[in-house]
Structures are given as C-alpha cells and as structure tokens.
Structure 1
C-alpha cells in the first residue's frame, strides 16, 4: 500500500487506545488513517501499539506497562517519533517525552505539520500559523527548545516576569497579529467574491483524499494539484465552468477529516466561506473506502459547524472503479452478511435510494458516468439560475432539449 523503504522517512511508532466509545475495529481504522497521515508528513511507521482502557491515563495517556513496551521498542529500533492518535494534554506530552526521550506528537500536531507543509499561499500559511500558535500556547512549559525571541531584553520584561511568561506574551501578541492579518485578507476575499457577480456558485466538499481535485480538473479542464495523499489541497481554487453553454463558478475546498483539530476548524472558517456562500454543494464521497459512511457523517458534522448543512446538496459517489465488495461465503454459518458485502447496485437500494437523483456514481479518474454528472449539475444550476434571472430561461433549455450534436 505505502512505499516504506525510503531512507529519508522519519521512523515512527503509533499509539492508540480501545475504549467503550472507540471499539477495536474503529481504533484500527483510526490508526490506518494516522499511518497515512504519518506517511503524508514524511514518516515511516515501524509498529503500532494499542491498549484497552476505560479512559486515557491522565498522566501518560496509556498505562505504565504498555509505556514500558513502547520505550523498549523505541530504544531497540532507533525510533525518533512517537505519535498518539488522540490529542494529548500539555502535562501528558511533558510526561511522555521524559519517559520515551524522543519527539512526541499527537494527531492534532501531526495534522498541523502536514498543513504547514502543504500551505502554498500567504493566506494559507497565515491560517496554519494561527492554528499552530493557538495549539502551542498551553504547551509552552517544558518545551525542549526556547522560542526565538520576537522581542525582549532590557526594558521589555515586566518586573519579575519569568521566561515562560515572556514566551506566552510573545505567542499571544503573535496570535493577535495573525488574527488581524486574516481579518484584512478576509475583507479582500469578500470583495473578490462580490466582484464575481451573480453567477451560480457550486462548491466541492468532502473528506480528504476522495478525489475532489481530480473531479475539478476533469470538469473545469484545468490543472488543480491532485495527489494520493491527505490534504493535497489547502487553498480554495475557483474556476469558471461551462456545461453546454451554462456558466457557473466551481470551487475546490480543503478536505475534512475525523478528529479535525479545533484550531484548524476555527482558523480555516474564513476559507470555508466559499462553502457558506455556495448555492449548491457537491459532496464527493470515496465509495471504495470501507468506512465511507463515517466519512459522510464527519463532513456533515463540520458542515453544520460552519452553517453549510442546509444547502442543496448532490452526493457524488466517486471511485466506483476501485470499489470491491467483500466476497460472501453462504456456506459459512458464522459469517454475517453486512454492508461490506454490498455491491454498488445494492448500495443504491439502501438509504441512498431516498436521495433519488441527488445520488450520482462516477469515476473521475476514469471518466465513468460523467455525462450523468454533467446532466444533473446542469439541471440544478439551471434551476437556480432561472430562479435568479427568470427572463433568461430561454437561453438555457432543459438538458433533454439541448442539441448536443455539435458538442465536443
């Protein structure tokens, strides 16, 4: 699945827990995702450690016995990084670092690192830095390296102000500066959105790595960066798209993920204005992923947080070329037939049946069923456009009435 023989990859171990709220199957899937995140960040996972617990240990997240196993493995295999699947408190991070004597990251820190690598524009870098500063603030005490002084020295410290208090003041001032910068850029972007006129706006949303950018490239005939890694796209890309003479604006937004850090949701809310202001959402789903229903729930949860849950939405089930139902052995009396055995036709007869025309099944990579996709998007955009400009209805006939003989 992942190529792991690159000598430049950072050696890491993953640590997760199994609780009453997160069973063994869920824990395994979260660790699968954490491994993909680690690979995306430039790491190589040597081993996973899991432990069944009622609740995380408030001091070291996992128990002392399991921690000793992790410590021994790290020493024996020259591992430089331990990555925990859940967010660690500042105290937990300090305690674990002392025991393991290596770099200790949690899921939030790892995602922030990937975002820092992927941020291309000044706006994205500012948003990521804000999230990093807000994550860093409560964790300053006990850090191995002291913050580089933004300012300080004689006359700059208050009476009796300690080093840690100076650091906190520097970070708080930086947070205030970044928030002000984002506010200024937001105003500029709001003006840009206003200058686009009254064109219908369509936004691609979905879990990370479901193929949104690939679909964007196919539909808009542009070259948006797409890669089989998590968070390949951070900056919102907007393109003018024309389907059979009907123009609209299509935007490709940052992908979502389970356990998305609160700091990122807050700092990227402004980027997601494209979602809030869209007239239509295309919720892209990787149907080949075994837990795509959980992905849908995660995306819908975040859409609710940014006031985008009530918008007209078309579910676009992508990667049908990669979908494979697990074989079912009817002679095995122990095997229970569940959704993992469903064919795509059987999926269509489940809750997806209620979506009717708002459920599309495509392969953006292989360009399968794209004509059905174009027809459905055309009809929906046309309805929005005609509602907005009733006198333009004759310019854009129903899809069935179009003369497609001259189309490419």
Structure 2
C-alpha cells in the first residue's frame, strides 16, 4: 500500500494526509470512498490542504495504534514524502492511539471528532454557539490532557502519595477544565431558559414555524435566502451555517410564517456536539412543519436522508409517525441530466410530500411554499366557541389564529364558529 498524491486545489494552510480506516466487520452507513470524500470536504472547510489520502483496511483493531505496523510505516513514508504536518483519521481515536500515532509519524494527528470541533470552533458566530463549541471542546480534551504532558517527570516521590510534577500539572489542568465546564454549563442553562421563553412567546403568537433540516451542504441556507430574501452565509462547503437564523416568510392563506435555518447534520456527529447543540436542535422539535432539504444530486443522498432521520428520532421526532409534518425538498435538480431528472420525477409522484427544487435557480420553490401552506392548513376543523362578552383577548386570538365563519351575540355570551388547526385550538384552550 502506498498513499497516492492528490491535488490540493486552492486550499491553503496545513498540509495533511487523509486516512480512512475500513474496519472489517463494522457496519458503516456509506462506503469508504464516500467517507473519504466527505473527510476531504471537512478538511477543505477549515482551509487544510490534503496532499495524500488512503483507505486502509483494518482486519483487527490494535488497541494501542488502531493500524498495523506496515500501515503505520506506509503512512509515515507519505508524511515525509509530501512534507505533511498533519494526519487526519476518519474515525474515533482513543487518547492512547492518538499519542502513539503522533510519535510514530512525528506530526500532529487528529480524528474526525477533533476536526469537526475545529470547524465548529472557527465558524460559531453567536455567543451561544461559542459557548456550545467551547463546552464540547473541553469535554473532548479532558480525557486527552495526558498527551500534553508526556515530556514532564512522571515518577512518584516521597512516601508514594505525592505525584511528580507532571501529574501535578495534569491534575491542575483537569481541575481548571472541570471548573470551566461547570461555568459553561451554567451559562448554557441560562441560554436554554431564555430560548424556552422565546419559544413560549412564539407559541402564543399566531404564526407557524417551519424548520429547515438536512445534511450539511444540502443547500438549506441557499433555500432560506431564496424564500426569505435574507443574506445568510451560503457556500459550497460543509458546515457553512452553525448558528440558527429565523426570518419571516409569506405563505398563501397565512398572514405570516417563521422560517428557521439550522445547523447541518452529518454522520457520526461527535457526541459532545450533539449534547452541546441540543438546545439549538430543540427548535426543530417545536416546529409546526419540518422541511427536509436533500441534495438529490449527491451519490449518497439516500444514506444522508437516513442520517438526518436518525438525528430527528434522537430529538423525539419520528418521521414515520407523522407527529410533525415533514416535506422533502429534493434540491439541486439543476445539476441532473434529463434521464436522471425523469427518473426522479417518476419517484416524486410515488412519494408523498416531495417537491423537486433548485434553491440556486428558484425552480420549484413556489410549489414548495404552496406545499407548506397545504400541510399547515391540513387537519383543520370547525370549533364552536362561547366567550364572555368582555373577553376581547381570546376573541382576538381566534381571529388571528383561525378563520371565523360566524359570530353571534346574545344577552350573556358571544358564540363563534371558527375553523382552525388542533394545535391552535389547544393554544386557545390554555389562554
């Protein structure tokens, strides 16, 4: 096995060798070439220049190094040949494996989790996003502190209960990290409480909320800008959007709607980031409608769809159950040839709530907005409501949230027939 050279393109920064382990017997959601391609995209997203890449078949995982000695030697040769300063491994490395590989290759080694954390750390723009990323990074680093202090003295002295200076430094760092983690969690708890209050205010408001979800780089932000006229950063790279954004949207039959752009999902998202961004992702669970933006041009479009649905299930939303309506926007149809397009159009006629679109050109977006309105108005029924004559607040709510069919007044009460959704009527009953 010899790592082969690849074009570094326009990427600048660290020169990196990309390594994709393919462990025998382990189930992956996509083949190794697709995983390597995604790793290349992740590296490019942070300005790293891949100079060599390799898929390594791992027949038996080595606890100390993951790879076999021959594979380690071959990657070491590639590092020297291409003057690389970094090796990125597409998988999770234990602290021991990471330390041993750095010694063997005499360069920095990071795994998939470390790379995604670096991207998130560079991209987070809001105070909340920075808090979430820092918390995830500290929790990741906490178990890896020993790597930073291997050059210090390790032997014990005295009566055996006092550690050497290396251990003292490690414990001091761990204590500082624990304290910082505690402060970050308290600050994020406050952020969650504030976000909950905002959600409750929106819950009382008359406008439905539509959440855009999808695999990273599926085109969510481009569609968001197309539908709302916003100027959200939209680039052809992974994780261009990290911080959630909300804008108003015009919907037929609705005075106003709110469209929410969210962070893109990705396979094997680090558990630290899933936990840290849960408050942000909870916005999706509170939405009235979910629009799954899917890059239908991608070779692994089906696997990406399955990954998005897996994350939704983790958030308590079962796409098969239908508790929250989901419409699939099959994006990037402008990149398909005529035969691919014809096959997709046949498939979209079979699948329910699917719209073919191009967020780049605007094709199909009017039909998509119409689908939003249809799904949000589906399930409405007529409710008979009796109000006190002086109950102006609840009467105004009914006019804002539903269609008043009739309204009569007798000596004691106001009687109204109102067409509205069950969710809106539930809100009304709680006023």
Tell me the TM-score normalised to structure 2 length: 0.79
- Alpha-carbon shift at residue 272 of structure 1 (Å): 0.8
- Provide closer, same or farther for how the CA distance between residues 122 and 384 of structure 1 changes in structure 2, counting only shifts above 3 A: farther
Unaligned runs of 5+ in 2: 1-5, 152-160, 384-396, 406-417, 420-431
Q: How many residues get paired?
A: 367
Report if the CA contact (8 A) 1:363-1:369 is conserved. Answer: yes
Inter-partner Cα distance in structure 2 for 1:111 and 1:343:
33
- Provide closer, same or farther for how the CA distance between residues 23 and 127 of structure 1 changes in structure 2, counting only shifts above 3 A: closer
**What pairs with 1:7-406 in structure 2 (closer than 5 Å)?**
8-18=12-22, 19-21=24-26, 26-143=31-148, 162-196=168-202, 197-198=204-205, 199-244=207-252, 246=254, 247-309=256-318, 310-324=323-337, 343-350=340-347, 353-356=349-352, 358-383=353-378, 392-393=402-403
Structure 1 or 2, whichever has the larger Rg, is 2
Q: CA RMSD in A?
A: 2.7
Inter-partner Cα distance in structure 2 for 1:122 and 1:45:
32
Inter-partner Cα distance in structure 2 for 1:245 and 1:298:
33
Inter-partner Cα distance in structure 1 for 2:292 and 2:214:
5
Tell me the TM-score normalised to structure 1 length: 0.83
- Provide closer, same or farther for how the CA distance between residues 364 and 23 of structure 1 changes in structure 2, counting only shifts above 3 A: closer
Inter-partner Cα distance in structure 2 for 1:259 and 1:111:
10
- Alpha-carbon shift at residue 65 of structure 1 (Å): 0.4
- Alpha-carbon shift at residue 345 of structure 1 (Å): 3.2
The structure carrying a bigger strand percent of its residues is 2
Report if the CA contact (8 A) 2:11-2:48 is conserved. Answer: no
Unaligned runs of 5+ in 1: 147-157, 326-341, 398-408
